[in-house]
Structure 1
Amino acid sequence: MTPRHTLLALLVVVLWGFNFVAIDLGLAKVPPLVFLAMRFVLVAVPAVFFIRPPAIGWRNILLIGAFLSLGQFTLLYLALSLGMPPGLASLLLQTQIVFSVVVSSLLLREHPTRRQLVGIVIGMIGLAVVVVGHTYAAPWLPLVITLLAALSWAIGNVLSRRARAASGLSLVVWSGLVVPAPSLGLALLVNGPQAVGYSLTHLSIAAILSTVYTAVAASLVAYTIWNSLLARYPTGAVVPFTLLVPVIGILAAWVVYRENPTASEIVGGAIMLGGLAAAVVNRRPRRRAFVPE
């Protein structure tokens, strides 16, 4: 990758890393499902009036939106609202790499290599260390919900790869339309019309800024850059940058909340990221074919 594109990839990592703290700040006074609906209204509108839908069929758009956006973020927002630490959430969501390999082998028949299997096993050992250490100190339910969010993200990744949309931004915008109505409807059932109405008419500055950040910076800007990099470079050259997201997420949580990870989270997280790196980082660059001049 060129230095410019490397810096753009690092910018995406920073935007995604701070996204967890931004979400947590927005959830302080807004119910999670209402906050989710607000985010994706801003993701889709007004862009949907200027960007053509991806030519992958409405069924694929609905399925990708259901897993990549609605499922992933509903579960993540719910976990954060139940007390999941933002820094730890940024780490556990990276298990989507493992889930993506497994789901891809089931749906696309893309079987993992021996090195990927070894990396997955190491990653799962690290995850087990994190889970055991966390459940001794905090409730386990938010942790399980976060892992389900990672699974939903992985299914969305595989569906997106199978659909092969020409424009990543178009897919983000149009699949984002799947989110607002179901999340707002669930919020009305769970929280009640009065609570939903009050939260929408008494938005704090923090909630508004958080919505703008998560929709514009973390969704539209970051995914536009990310998809453009994936279009230019092999997946193995781009995807490993996501391993830096938990580092930024944990650092952001420490700066904002003074959230200090436990020893088991540090050790388990290091083992987990090491295993994931072994699974996705291609250490053997392709040799260029010799072309006589």
Structure 2
Amino acid sequence: MWASAFVSIRASAEYFGPGALALGRLLTASVALGVVLLVKRVPPPSRQAWPGILASGVLWFGLYMVTLNWGEQGVDAGTAAMVVNIGPIVIALLSGWLLKEGFPPMLLVGMGVSFAGAAVVGMSTSKGGGSSLTGVLLCLVAALAYGAGVVSQKPALQHASPLQVTTYGCFVGTACTLPFAGQLIDQIPDAPLTATLNMVYLGLFPTALAFTTWTYALSRTTAGKMGATTYAVPAVVVVIAWFVLDEVPGWLTLLGGAICLGGVAVSRRRPRPAPSPAGVPE
């Protein structure tokens, strides 16, 4: 679903500003998740969970979405993909240091392979010559916000459910983007219905559903391993753009996507246990 978000963002970005698009997406997700909370009668999270919820809401839901939308106005999609794919590396480094998850060799090797694949995809789709320094820096800020936001979620999951962490983080992100409400109100009447529906889709599926699914999985594994799985996104984006936007990928793009998936597979492998010394009973 996150892969499909890139296609929907491209379809809506012509009609909505970066902040307005982020606010519309988050408002839609907040309404959907809020209804789920009311129906299931889920209480607010405990006080211990709030530091992580606030941090992830500001960084991942708020800052990441705005800066990524903004940055893509100054760089092409290929360059943006290369820069944003620093995010999983940030997750691995921060989780290994702050969350004491360590630095498993297979995880680091797999992430290195996947980043190389993402770079190949980025270079193969880059138009060249059109990237501004501001756009690159904004995409870098988005990558750092994404990485720090994911790491912030992990401690919160010790005190709250995945649904609580996702929903209240989304509420916080929505509050952060409220200054763009005027832009959103001005731009909706002039936008075609398809662009508005794309924004609603972004809120319901890549945000409400995908973020909740992500948080559920994050509660059951390490942040570093979860970050590595997102390297599958560039490969899936290539396939979706092929079928939805009729953008036929070149052989270099397909090769980069295959390398991304191979790196994810490597990162998920467990190291083989050391063989028992001969003659020693197990």
Alignment TM-score, normalising by the size of structure 2:
0.75
Q: How many residues are aligned here? A: 263
User: In the alignment, is the contact (CA less than 8 A) between 2:107 and 2:268 conserved in 1?
Assistant: no
- What residue in structure 1 maps to residue 276 of structure 2? none
Which region of structure 1 is more displaced relative to structure 2, 18-27 or 138-147?
A: 138-147
CA distance 1:262–1:159, change in 2 (3 Å): same
* 1:1-293 equivalence runs, <5 A: 15-45=1-31, 47-48=33-34, 50=38, 51-55=42-46, 56-82=48-74, 84-85=76-77, 93-126=84-117, 134=126, 136-139=128-131, 141=133, 142-164=135-157, 165-185=159-179, 187=180, 196-230=184-218, 234=221, 242-260=230-248, 267=255, 270-271=258-259, 274-278=262-266, 280-284=267-271
How many angstroms apart in 1 are the aligned matches of 2:49 and 2:98? 18
Which region of structure 1 is more displaced relative to structure 2, 138-147 or 210-219?
A: 138-147
User: In the alignment, is the contact (CA less than 8 A) between 2:23 and 2:174 conserved in 1?
Assistant: yes
User: In the alignment, is the contact (CA less than 8 A) between 1:61 and 1:171 conserved in 2?
Assistant: yes
Corresponding residue SS for 2:188: helix
How many angstroms apart in 2 are the aligned matches of 1:171 and 1:199? 31
User: In the alignment, is the contact (CA less than 8 A) between 2:232 and 2:264 conserved in 1?
Assistant: no
How many angstroms apart in 1 are the aligned matches of 2:204 and 2:119? 35
Structure 1, gaps ≥5 residues long: 1-14, 287-293
Alignment TM-score, normalising by the size of structure 1:
0.72
- The one-character-per-residue Cα deviations of 1:150-206 (angstroms, maximum 9, x if unpaired) are 221111111111222532122121111222343242x47xxxx5x554213434212
- The one-character-per-residue Cα deviations of 1:107-129 (angstroms, maximum 9, x if unpaired) are 22333123333344445555565
User: In the alignment, is the contact (CA less than 8 A) between 2:81 and 2:118 conserved in 1?
Assistant: no
CA distance 1:158–1:27, change in 2 (3 Å): same
CA distance 1:241–1:101, change in 2 (3 Å): closer
Corresponding residue SS for 1:177: helix
Identity fraction in percent: 26
User: In the alignment, is the contact (CA less than 8 A) between 1:94 and 1:243 conserved in 2?
Assistant: yes
Structure 2, gaps ≥5 residues long: 274-282
How many angstroms apart in 1 are the aligned matches of 2:55 and 2:205? 24
Which region of structure 1 is more displaced relative to structure 2, 129-138 or 204-213?
A: 129-138
RMSD: 3.5
CA distance 1:163–1:57, change in 2 (3 Å): closer
